[in-house]
């Protein structure tokens, strides 16, 4: 998968999330880093990151070419890498990740919350976002008005919007009432798609939370605004996703 056979020690350490390049250079110069058992004080020292054993401040470090974070996006934050006016999902990154070139895989609306994957793995993002892959996305929504069989059938058939007709989607009714709670799974990711689907049926979405993206499920222990690295199991389920 990886073509990297030589890497500078400072880059290696920064990639593991130990800190910025400046911070890890300090650590290296202080004599706290060994490569294959020998202390290295030169940050530009180059070696094969796949083969060497690197120990920093007593702990062995694992080489990672790419990074994968699950964010529970809070409402009010935009799914972009920069914006002059609004807080972006990258503004929420803990300091150890700020120097990496992470970006969100797809978008959630500013007022939508929930599962958003952040990565620096362009090939994986491309794969997950390809319309051909039909990656399922699952949402919980609070909808104004009663939602019933009529809406369920419309979702299953596909809904004609101004510019396209949606693929068959699943609508599960969790609680029908003057405001209804529903679970939706769509295999596309068009702009405002869920809101537009309900709007076309004369209903408005009051709140939207993404709880599933491909094989990933939103970690219920992640409060809004928090993120964590994917587990090894989550990562392999993503890497194997309909290759």
Q: Does 208 bind ligand URA (CB under 6 A)?
A: yes
Interacting residue with ligand URA among 9, 169, 194, 218 (CB under 6 A): 194
What are the angstrom distances between the C-alpha of 213 and each of 23, 158, 209? Answer: 35, 20, 12
Q: Does 108 bind ligand URA (CB under 6 A)?
A: yes
Q: Does 72 bind ligand URA (CB under 6 A)?
A: no
Instruction: Show Cβ contacts of residue 213 under 8 Å, excluding neighbours closer than 6 positions.
Output: 105, 106, 115, 116, 117, 128, 135, 137, 138
Q: Which helix (H) or strand (E) holds 129?
A: helix 122-129
Catalytic pick among 91, 109, 163, 219: 109
Between 17 and 75, CB nearer to ligand URA? 75
163 is catalytic: no
Q: Which helix (H) or strand (E) holds 153?
A: helix 149-157
Considering only the stretches 17-25, 67-75, 188-196, 223-231, report the one whose residues sit in contact with ligand URA under the rule CB under 6 A. 188-196
Considering only the stretches 4-12, 48-56, 59-67, 107-115, report the one whose residues sit in contact with ligand URA under the rule CB under 6 A. 107-115
Considering only the stretches 70-78, 127-135, 159-167, 186-194, report the one whose residues sit in contact with ligand URA under the rule CB under 6 A. 186-194
How many Å apart are CA 208 and CA 11, to the nearest integer? 39
Contact yes or no for 229/67 (Cβ under 8 A): yes
Residues with a known catalytic role: 109
Binding residues vs ligand URA (CB under 6 A): 108-109, 112, 192-195, 208
């Amino acid at each position: 998968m990886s073509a990297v056979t030589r890497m500078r020690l400072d880059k290696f350490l920064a990639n593991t999330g130990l800190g910025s390049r400046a911070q890890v250079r300090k650590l290296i110069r202080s004599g706290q880093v060994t490569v294959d058992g020998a202390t290295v004080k030169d940050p530009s020292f180059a070696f094969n990151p796949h083969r060497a054993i690197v120990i920093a401040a007593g702990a062995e470090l694992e080489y990672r070419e790419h990074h994968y974070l699950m964010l529970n996006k809070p409402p009010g934050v935009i799914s972009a890498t920069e914006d002059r006016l609004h807080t972006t999902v990258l503004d929420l990154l803990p300091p150890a990740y700020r120097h990496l070139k992470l970006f969100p895989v797809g978008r959630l609306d500013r007022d939508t919350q929930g599962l958003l994957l952040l990565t620096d793995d362009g090939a994986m993002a491309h794969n997950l976002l390809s319309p051909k892959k039909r990656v399922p996305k699952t949402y919980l929504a609070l909808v104004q008005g009663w939602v019933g069989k009529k809406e369920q059938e419309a979702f299953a058939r596909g809904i004609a919007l101004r510019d396209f007709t949606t693929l068959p989607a699943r609508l599960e009714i969790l609680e029908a009432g003057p405001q209804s709670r529903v679970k939706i799974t769509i295999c596309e990711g068009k702009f405002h798609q869920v809101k537009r689907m309900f709007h076309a049926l004369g209903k408005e979405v009051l709140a939207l939370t993404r709880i599933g993206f491909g094989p990933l499920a939103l970690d219920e222990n992640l409060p809004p605004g928090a993120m964590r690295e994917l587990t090894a199991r989550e990562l392999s389920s993503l890497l194997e996703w309909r290759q």
